[in-house]
Structure 1
Amino acid sequence: MERSMPQQSAADPILESLEAASKATWRDFVEVTKPGINKSNLFATFVGYFLAAGFTLFDWSTLVFTLLGTALVIAGGCAINNFYDRDIDPLMERTKTRSVAEGRMKPTVALWYGIILTVVGMLVLGIGVNLLSAVLALVGFVVYVFIYTMWLKRTSTLNTVVGGFSGAVPPMIGWVAVTNSIDLNAWALFLILFMWQPPHFFALAIRKADDYRRAGIPMLPVVKGLKETKKQTLIFTLLLIPSSVLLFVTGANSWFYLVCALCLGVIYIALAIKGFYTDDQEKWSKQMFFYSLIYLTTILLVIMLDVVITESIAMLTK
């Protein structure tokens, strides 16, 4: 007598996801959220908050909710990025050991993990901070996941530039958490991060061109070559000067910030110009990548230090 085959339960996919989740370690759940990217974005968020709040409006509870909500939304977007890029990540040295790419975490687990983190992050911002901060986070998430990851990353050399939009949103969230408005200062913070990102990622793309070529990702150096990449790198480093000066023009920062921002920008431009006269592309791209990190870290620190100096002087002269 033949035994009837057991019918597959509708709950099986859920059970499979739970089983897969149990195989992934806690490190995999951290790694899939790209903590390095998250930390740098949270620093920018804090700077935006501190610039708006100073000593007078600084509130620890608002800051905690701002950073927590932003971190969760960014983590959610990165987890979904890992889910979507599971076909190309194994083709690149830089990404082939990611948990989803190596099969340590099932794609469905990464997807639902990302969705849950994003929703919780939105709620934290919307309820704990203000609605506008949640809207900004949502815009950054949509650009990163749908426009960059799912569309432009695989189809256009504009992927780096357009993707930079989402990376420039965090300091705006910090500013909006205090002011509940998007003014010229918020846009100045946005522009600094937005103009900084193409030179930063162009330098990385030059160094990892073979990786991107193997994965079929149309990064600028792969599609249009070094000359065009260097040209666009110079354009964006030049645009960083007026973008950074805006915070002085609005009065958010003082002369100390202006001098530091101009010095940092001039060095960046000089390095970009150097690229047209060097034969050692590897060395130059490493220098550009390394300095891009120095530039961003320093200018964000200078923004905060300028606030500390200005407000301290104001308090002492009262």
Structure 2
Amino acid sequence: MKKDWLPSSQKDGTVLLANEQNTSTLLSDLKALFKANVLLANVLPVFTGYWLALYFSGSAFSANWDVFLLTMIGSTLVMAGALVINNWYDVDIDTVMDRTKNRPTVTGTISLKVVLTLGIAFSVLGFILLLFTTIEAAIWAFVGWFTYVIMYTMWSKRRYTLNTVIGSVSGAVSPLIGWTAIESGFHIVPIILFLILFVFQMPHTFAIAMRKYHEYKAAGVAMLPVVHGFAMTKRQIFVYVACLLPLPFYLTSLGITFIVIATVLNIGWLAVSIYGFFTKDDQGWARVVFIYSVNYITILFVLMVIVTLPLFG
């Protein structure tokens, strides 16, 4: 039956369904383009850094709404811009890997020229907004952007296993952006937040690389498990998780509750990493490490906010 012969109500329903499908596809494409999960994961540390800067400086949240909005929107735009440029540059790798082959840069639903333009525009706009907070916040944002886009994406990712270290630096500066929008970064709290995020990202990323070993190998990405094998990767995961153990004790100003919970989380993760030396199910174990790492960092940074809630008291 031709569509012209359908009743008008049925035609309208068909058009509405098509519009909904197009909208759903567009949202899915944008979510993939901006790596929504990664972007949201980096926004939380920015907020935590900002919040703690207010707490330790004795400033009121309500008196700094303008700075808060500029910081959160500006940092989000910078990070989104970096992630979009990463998608633009890595289109050849993404074509090979199963987990990335549906990105709009691969399927062609969004042209590479548009993607690059978006990445640059978002980055520039984000830096401009951050300059209305403090120059130091903009500098830390640039450090993160430059490390991720140039040092990680364009230089080290395909060549050296050091790419994980470099990529971890870019993610670790996020709380410094939030903190320095209010206070100078020369303070023990933002420095420890940086170290926690930096160290955490190593076993987190190694676990992903183990789970996607065959994809990274096919794409020619120099991840640690691909170049040096699972045994070396397990040892590295254990070492980096062990390095997290002393870090909460530098944050005694956050109280005993935080120290205890953070230490329990660290010991739990260390136990999981040790179990890796005995299991034969490497993929199953890597999945556990990945899930633990995601929950670990989320709980830790949310907890930092919760234990300082008297800011509003």
TM range (shorter): 0.7 to 0.9
Give the whole-Å Cα distance in 1 for the aligned partners of 2:27 and 2:231.
44
| Offset from partner CA, 1:114-142 (integer Å, 9 cap, x none) | 11100000000002x11110110001000
Q: How does 1:224-263 map to 2 (within 5 A)?
A: 224-248=228-252, 251=253, 253-263=254-264
Corresponding residue SS for 2:104: coil
**RMSD over aligned Cα, in angstroms?**
1.6
1:197 and 1:46 mapped to 2: Cα distance? 18
- 1:25 deviates by 4.0
Contact 1:45/1:67 (CA < 8 Å) preserved in 2?
yes
1:120 counterpart letter in structure 2: L
Q: Which runs of 5+ in 1 are unaligned?
A: 1-23
**Structure 2 residue aligned with 1:110:** 115
Q: Distance in 2 between matches of 1:150 and 1:100?
A: 17
What is the rounded CA distance, in whole Å, between the counterparts of 2:266 and 2:299 in structure 1? Answer: 11
Give the aligned partner of residue 124 of structure 1: 129
Code of the residue aligned with 2:283 in structure 1: it is: E
Amino acid at match of 2:91: R
What is residue 157 of structure 2 aligned with on the other side? 153
TM-score normalised by L of structure 2:
0.87
Contact 1:80 1:115 in 2 (8 A): yes
Aligned length: 285
Percent identity (aligned): 38
Structure 2 residue 148 is matched with structure 1 residue 144: yes
* Structure 2: tracts of 5 or more residues without a match: 1-24
Matched residues in 1 for 2:223 and 2:246: separation? 27
1:60 has 2:61 as partner: no
Matching residue within 133, 138, 142 for 1:134: 138
Equivalent residues of 1:133, 1:180 under 8 A apart: no
Q: 2:205 aligns with which of 201, 215, 218?
A: 201
Equivalent in the alignment of 2:181: 177
Q: Could you tell which deviates more after superposition, 203-212 or 105-114? A: 105-114
Q: Which runs of 4+ in 1 moved over 6 A?
A: none
Alignment-derived partner of residue 289 in structure 1? 290
SS at match of 1:276: coil
Q: In the alignment, does 2:302 pair up with 1:301? A: yes
Query: Which one-letter code corresponds to 2:228 in the other structure?
Result: K
Per the TM alignment, residue 106 of structure 1 is displaced from its structure 2 partner at its CA by: 1.6
